[in-house]
Structure 1
Amino acid sequence: MATTLKDIAQATGVSLTTVSRVLNRDPSLSVGTATRKRIFATAAQLNYQKMPASPEEIKPRPQKIALVQWYSKSREQDDLYYMAIRMGIEQCSQQHQLEVIRVFQNNLTQLTQPVDGVIAVGKFSADQVQLLRTLTANLVFVDDDQFAAGFDSVITDFKLAVQQVVAVFLKQQRRDIGLIYGTETTTDGQRQIHDPRQIAFKETLTAQQLYRPEFTFQSDFTNQGGYRAMQQALTTLGDQLPHAFFVANDPMATGALKALQKAQIAVPQRVSLFSFNDTVLAKYVYPELSSVHVATELMGCTAVKLLCSRFQKKRPPQRVELGTQLIMRASTNLESE
C-alpha cells in the first residue's frame, strides 16, 4: 500500500496537520529544524509519493497583463481622462482576476517579466505598435484606432459628439462658432496625432457653410494651452470673437474660461463654451462647463473583456466604438440673457 501522511505522522510522532504543512513547505509554519528534517527523512524512507491535486484543487496562475500608459505619472495627473481609463482597466481586471503591471510613458524597460496580454492606452507609432506586438499576440488598444493594423481597438465616436455640440449652438442661434483644439505626438516623436474633433468640426460646419478657419486655434491639451489659445483669439479677433467655442478637452476649456474672465467677457452671455471628456474639472470651475461625457471607465473595461476573449480563443480583430452624452451646465445656459 502507498504511504500516507498518517503513516509519516505515526512514525515521527508529529501531528498529521504539521506533517502536511511541512511537506507542502508552508512558509507560515513555525516548527523546529530538527522536526522538519525528521519528517522529510521519514517521508523519503517510507517512499512517500505526493498525490496529484484534483482539478478542483488546482489553482491556475493568475494571468498577467501590462497596462501601457503613453502618459507619464505626472502628466496623467494633469489629464484625468487617461487616468479614468486606467482606473477602469484596473477595476475590471480585478474582477477577472488579472494581475496588472503598470507601465508609464510607454517605457517598456519597466517590464521585468513576461506578460500574457497588453492593453495600450493612448497614441502609438507604427514602430511602437510592432514593439508591443513582440511582447504578446494578445494586444488591445484604447483611444487609438489600430484596427486597420490588425489589432483590437476601443475608441470614442467623436464625429457624432461634435455634430451634437454644433446643433446645441445653432439652436441657441449662435452661428459664429470657434474651436480650440490640440495636437500631440507619440512618445518617440514618430507620429503626429491629428485631433479627430477638429476634423469632425470642420466637416460639420463646412456642410452647413459656417466654417471659418480664422475662428480655429491650435495649442496643446493643457490648461495653459487653452489659456494661450483663447488669448490669441481675443487678440486677433477683437469684437469679431465668436459667440460660441467648442474646446477639445476640459483642461483646455478651463484655461480658455480663465482667459475670458480675465478679459471680462461674460460666459455664457457673450461667449458660450462647450468642452469635451467631462472629467471632474468641468464641475469645479465657475460657471460649470457643459461637456461631452466620454465613458472612460467603460472604455477600460471593454478593453479588458476583449483581452479576456483573446485568452479564450483566436478570433479576428474587433473595433468597438462607444457613444457619448452631452452634459449641459452653466457655460451654455443662456436663460439669463
Structure 2
Amino acid sequence: MVTLKEIAKNSGYSQATVSRLFKGDSSLSITNETKQKIIHTALSMGYDRSKIKTTLEKIAVLFWLTEQEELQDVYFQQLRLSLEKYAQLSNMEIEMIKHEQDTIQIPDSVSGFVGVGSFTSKELLTLKEKCPNGVLLELNPEPDLFDTVKPDTDRITRQAIDYFLKKGYKKIGFIGGAFHNPDEDEDESDSREIAFRQYAKKKGVLNEEYIFSKGKFTVNQGYELTLELINQLGDDLPDAFFIASDTIAVGALQAFNERYISIPDRLEIISVNDTEISKFVSPPLTTFRIDVEEIAKTAIDMLVDQIVYPRQITKTVLLGSEIIIRKSFQP
C-alpha cells in the first residue's frame, strides 16, 4: 500500500503538504504545477484515487450536438449526465461546452476533454494543438489524434441478424438513420447500415428493397420511413426488422400500429440502446442494451490515464452489449 511518506519522497514535497492537499484543505497555498506534480506522482505509484479529496484536474466535455438533437435522443441525455457523474467521482472539475457556442473555446486551465457528437477534421486538428489529451465518443474521424470509446455496433448488427436466422427468418429488413459527415456537409451511410449489408450478404439474405435508412435518428424519422416502406412493399413485408435505435423504433411502432400491422405476430423487431422508453411502448422493445454509464466511466478513465501516463499512441475501446428480451422479438 502506497503511503503519504513515500509520495512525499518521490514528489519532493513535505508529507504535511501532501496530506493537506489530499484532504482538500482550501487554505493550502501551492501552485497548480505543484498540485499536479504531487497528484500525478501519487497516481503513478498506484495510490487510490478515491482517497484524494481535492480536484485532480479540470476537464471539458464538448457536447457537439444542438440542443434540439440532444432533446430528441434520450441516449445523449443519459450520456451527458453519466459523464458529469463519473467526472465528479474522479474528482475532476468539469466544464460543459455546447455546440451553440459555434467555436470551441477551451480554457488554458483544462487538462483534457471528452468529445460527444460530430467534429470536423479541422476542428480536431485545432483541438490537438490546444489540448493534446482527449477522448471522442462514438465518432472519431481522426483516430490517430485522440482516443475513442464506442459501443461495438457492428457486432450488435451481426448478432441481431443471427437471432433472426436462428428463428428461420430469411426476409430481414433494416430501418435506420444517416451519419452526417461534417467535413463534407452531407449524409452518408451509418455504420450499422454498412454492417447490416455486409453481414446479410455474407449470410445470403441481403435484399436492398428491405433497407430503409436516411435522415436523423428521431421518432418522426422512424415513423416516416416506416410509412414509406409499408406503402412501397405492400404485402411483401419482411419477417423481421433490425432497427438502428430505440428512438427510430418508437416511430416505426406508431406507423405499424396505424396500419394494423401487428408486432410481433406479423413481423418482429430488434432495436438498439435500451433507453427507458423501450419498456413502455406497445409492444415493449427487444433491444440491445448499450451501457451508457460504462461508456462514460471508460472515457473518464482513459482521459485520466492520458494525463497521468502521457503516451504517443492512441487507443480505441469497443464495448460489448447484452440483448434485453421483451415482446417485439422472442428468440
Unpaired runs of at least 5, structure 2: 1-15, 25-34, 36-54
TM-score of the superposition, structure 2-length normalised? 0.80
- Are positions 1:323 and 2:320 aligned together? yes
- Structure 1 pair 206–332 and aligned structure 2 pair: CA distance change class (3 A): same
**In the superposition, relative to structure 1, how do residues 148 and 110 fare at CA in structure 2: closer, same or farther (>3 Å)?**
closer
Query: Contact 1:87/1:300 (CA < 8 Å) preserved in 2?
Result: no
TM-score where L is the length of structure 1: 0.78
Aligned residue pairs, count = 282
Question: What is the DSSP-based 3-state SS (H/G/I as helix, E as strand, rest coil) of the residue aligned with 2:304?
Answer: helix
Match among 73, 83, 96 for residue 79 of structure 1? 73
Question: Residues 297 and 119 from structure 1, CA distance in 2 versus in 1: closer, same or farther, beyond 3 angstroms?
Answer: same
State the one-letter code of the partner of 1:331.
S
Cα pair distance change 1:66/1:110, threshold 3 Å: same
1:103 positional shift: 1.5
Aligned match of 1:56: 19
Is the 1:71–1:104 Cα contact (8 Å) retained in structure 2?
yes
Cα distance in 1 for partners of 2:128, 2:106 equals: 16
What amino acid is the match of 2:240? A
Question: Who is 1:288 aligned against?
Answer: 284
DSSP-derived class of the 1:225 partner? helix
Deviations 1:76-107 (A, max 9, x none): 12211122222221111111111111112273
Task: State the match for 1:300 in structure 2.
Answer: 296
Letter of the 1:330 partner, please give it.
K
Q: 1:301 to 1:284 in 2, by over 3 A?
A: same
Q: 1:49-91 CA deviation, whole Å, 9 max, x = no partner?
A: xxxx733224546521110112223321221112222222111
2:155 counterpart (142, 157, 160): 160
Paired letter, 1:274? I
User: Do the aligned residues in 1 keep the contact of 2:121 with 2:142 (CA within 8 Å)?
Assistant: no
CA deviation profile, 1:237-274 (whole Å, cap 9, x unmatched): 00001121111111110000100000001000001111
Q: 220-229 or 98-107, which moves further after superposition?
A: 98-107
State the one-letter code of the partner of 2:322: Q
Counterpart residue type for residue 218 of structure 1: S
CA distance in structure 2 between the aligned counterparts of 1:132 and 1:64, rounded to whole angstroms:
16
Deviations 1:248-307 (A, max 9, x none): 111110000100000001000001111111111211201001111111111111010011
For 1:165 and 1:64, the matched residues in 2 are separated by 40
CA contact under 8 A between 1:125 and 1:190: conserved in structure 2? no
Q: Which runs of 5+ in 1 are unaligned?
A: 1-52
Check conservation: 2:212, 2:225, Cα contact below 8 A.
yes
Aligned mates of 1:173, 1:139 — CA distance in 2: 45
CA distance in 1, matches of 2:117, 2:251: 23
Q: Where do residues 262-281 of structure 1 align in structure 2 (5 Å cutoff)? A: 262-281=258-277
Cα 1:87–1:151 change in 2 (3 A) is same
Conserved? CA contact 2:106–2:130, under 8 Å:
no
Give 1:125 shift: 1.8
Q: Which has the larger radius of gyration?
A: 1
